[in-house]
């Protein structure tokens, strides 16, 4: 269980933490091993240097004793002072003993010592050495030392005595420990610096990788926006061409229609003078009414393709909503639709062209009424309801005004919501819609940096929200 918990914690670490952990696990033991090996290799070299130093000091002392004849009778005090001087001048020397041969050269005796005579070590082999000797041994506490012997001998003849020194290796052990600690600290410092440097470059690499991914995402988004802009441009070009064709078509039909209407009026006058039958006059009126309808349709085409005068005004959108509702009130009453209004009277004025806002609201209201009418055909007992609302919304530093229309009509299928703004796409029956209404509404709102949002549940309701920012200009 603990293994699983540890694995889970390791898995949650980021890449930088994992790299640092691997470096610590791999490099730290190597540095510690190198530091230990260095200290162990250094120790024999230092001990050998201490042995050579001890031999040199013992040899100098033996030569001085020989030259000054300090082994003679009555010169014990001077000899003792000389070995004490050597003892104090050599920090690694812990004991100095001087032996001299008996008068008959058959034995030896302790002439002077810096310590208790009982602690003086006997010569090796039970006789005074005639050559320099050294041996490594340990004190009772385990500390090592060199036992160094240097013979005191004249130019000719047997040795007159010998100098024995105990040279401690405590300094060598201390130096080895110091080397070990210094190497360990240096190794850890090196590892720390290495980790910091690698962490810095790794962090920079991760940041650059994130920037690269963000740039790639931005490029993808920009490419999508470019494709969308190209698609909208193509649609606008199609609409422009359709507008030109419509205007040309309406203009060409308008001339003969005007001529036909004038001749019908003249014909009616002539028939009245001749006292024509009432049935003929009625037929003539029917022809005139149908011709008037065609003329109205042509005028509507021409008005829709003409560019309106853009006069900006400070608009009370609640009043614009009420005015638009009055336009569609006959249809509301005829269909028996219940109207619910929830208008925020605290809304401030918005600078816009009145005709633009009226056109958008009228289109949205007519779409809702068409949906309610379709629902009434499917369910005659359906209680139709239309709700309009206005409200203020703040998002960060941006201030928005919202106008909305909600109906309980047939709704829009979820798969069609993304296509309702496409030109010539409609969910209405054939002959009931052109598929241009919402496209025109969206283009109008884009002039004010606004937008149109649609949400719907098929068979239940549809809500369309118009959003315009305060202070927007076309």
What's the confidence (pLDDT) of residue 406? Answer: 92
pLDDT in tens, 111-120: 888 888 887 8
Is residue 3 pLDDT above 60, yes or no? no
Q: How far apart are CA 234 and CA 229, in angstroms?
A: 9
Tokens of residue 141, six digits: 């506490």
Are 445 and 468 a contacting pair, CB within 8 Å? Answer: yes
What's the confidence (pLDDT) of residue 250? Answer: 66
Is residue 474 pLDDT above 50, yes or no? no
Q: What is the pTM of this model?
A: 0.40
Tokens of residue 456, six digits: 């719907």
Burial of 78 (0-12, 13-18, 19+ CB in 10 A): middle
DSSP character at residue 119: G
pLDDT in tens, 305-336: 555 555 778 888 889 889 888 888 888 888 88
Contacts of 159 (CB under 8 A, 6+ apart): 101, 128, 129, 130, 151, 152, 153
Instruction: Calculate the average pLDDT of the chain.
Output: 79
Q: How far apart are CA 39 and CA 31, in angstroms?
A: 12
CA atoms within 13 A on the CB side of 219: 6
Contacts of 388 (CB under 8 A, 6+ apart): 321, 325, 339, 340, 341, 342, 343, 365, 403, 404, 405, 406
Largest CA distance in the chain: 190
Q: What is the DSSP string of 3-24?
A: HHHHHHHHHHS-HHHHHHHHHH
**Residues 215-223, mean pLDDT to the nearest whole number:** 85
**Residues 166-171, mean pLDDT to the nearest whole number:** 83
Instruction: Give the range among 25-39, 353-367, 408-422, 433-447 with minimum mean pLDDT.
Output: 25-39
The torsion angles phi and psi of 132, rounded to 5 degrees, stand at -60, 140
Band of pLDDT at residue 197, cut at 50, 70 and 90:
confident
Tokens of residue 379, six digits: 């369910």
Q: How far apart are CA 151 and CA 157, in angstroms?
A: 12
DSSP character at residue 122: P
Burial of 369 (0-12, 13-18, 19+ CB in 10 A): buried
To 5 degrees, how large is the angle CA 28–CA 31–CA 36? Answer: 125
Are 440 and 434 a contacting pair, CB within 8 Å? Answer: no
Query: Residue 313, by phi and psi: left (phi above 0), alpha (psi -120 to 50) or beta?
Result: beta
């Amino acid at each position: 269980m603990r293994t699983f918990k540890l694995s889970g914690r390791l898995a949650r670490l980021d890449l930088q933490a994992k790299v640092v952990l691997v470096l610590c696990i791999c490099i730290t033991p190597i540095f510690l091993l190198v530091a230990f090996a260095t200290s162990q290799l250094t120790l024999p070299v230092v001990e050998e240097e201490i042995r050579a130093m001890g031999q040199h000091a013992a040899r100098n002392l033996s030569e001085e004793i020989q030259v000054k004849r300090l082994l003679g009778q009555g010169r014990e005090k001077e000899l003792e002072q000389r070995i004490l001087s050597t003892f104090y001048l050599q920090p690694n020397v812990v004991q100095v003993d001087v032996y001299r041969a008996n008068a008959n050269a058959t034995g030896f005796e302790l002439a002077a010592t810096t310590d208790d005579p009982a602690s003086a070590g006997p010569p090796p082999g039970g006789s005074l050495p005639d050559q320099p000797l050294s041996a490594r041994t340990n004190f009772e506490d385990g500390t090592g030392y060199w036992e160094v012997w240097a013979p005191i001998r004249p130019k000719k003849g047997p040795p007159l005595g010998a100098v024995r020194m105990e040279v401690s290796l405590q300094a060598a052990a201390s130096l080895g420990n110091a080397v070990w600690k210094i190497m360990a600290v240096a190794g850890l410092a090196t590892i720390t610096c290495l980790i910091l440097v690698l962490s810095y470059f790794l962090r920079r690499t991760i940041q650059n990788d994130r920037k690269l991914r963000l740039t790639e995402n931005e490029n993808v988004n920009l490419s999508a926006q470019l494709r969308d802009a190209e698609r909208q441009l193509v649609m606008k070009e199609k609409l422009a061409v359709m507008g030109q064709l419509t205007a040309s078509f309406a203009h060409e039909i308008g001339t003969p229609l005007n001529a036909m209407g004038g001749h019908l009026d003249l014909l009616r006058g002539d028939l009245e003078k001749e006292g024509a039958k009432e049935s003929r006059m009625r037929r003539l009126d029917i022809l005139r009414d149908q011709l008037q309808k065609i003329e109205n349709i042509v005028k509507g085409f021409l008005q829709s393709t003409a560019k309106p005068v853009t006069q900006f005004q400070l608009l009370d959108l609640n009043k614009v909503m009420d005015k638009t509702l009055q336009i569609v009130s006959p249809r509301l009453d005829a269909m028996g639709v219940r109207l619910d209004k929830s208008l925020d009277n605290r809304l401030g004025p918005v600078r816009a062209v009145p005709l633009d806002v009226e056109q958008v609201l009228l289109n949205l209201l007519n779409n809702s009424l068409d949906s309610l009418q379709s629902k009434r055909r499917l369910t005659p007992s359906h209680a139709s309801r239309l709700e309009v609302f206005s409200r203020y919304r703040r998002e960060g530093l941006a201030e928005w005004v919202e106008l909305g229309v909600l109906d309980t009509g047939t709704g829009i299928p979820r798969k069609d919501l993304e296509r309702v703004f496409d030109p010539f796409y409609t969910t209405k029956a054939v002959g009931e819609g052109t598929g241009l209404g919402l496209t025109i509404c969206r283009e109008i709102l884009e002039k004010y940096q606004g937008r149109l949002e649609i949400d719907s549940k098929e068979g239940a309701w549809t809500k369309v929200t118009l959003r315009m920012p305060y202070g927007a200009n076309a």
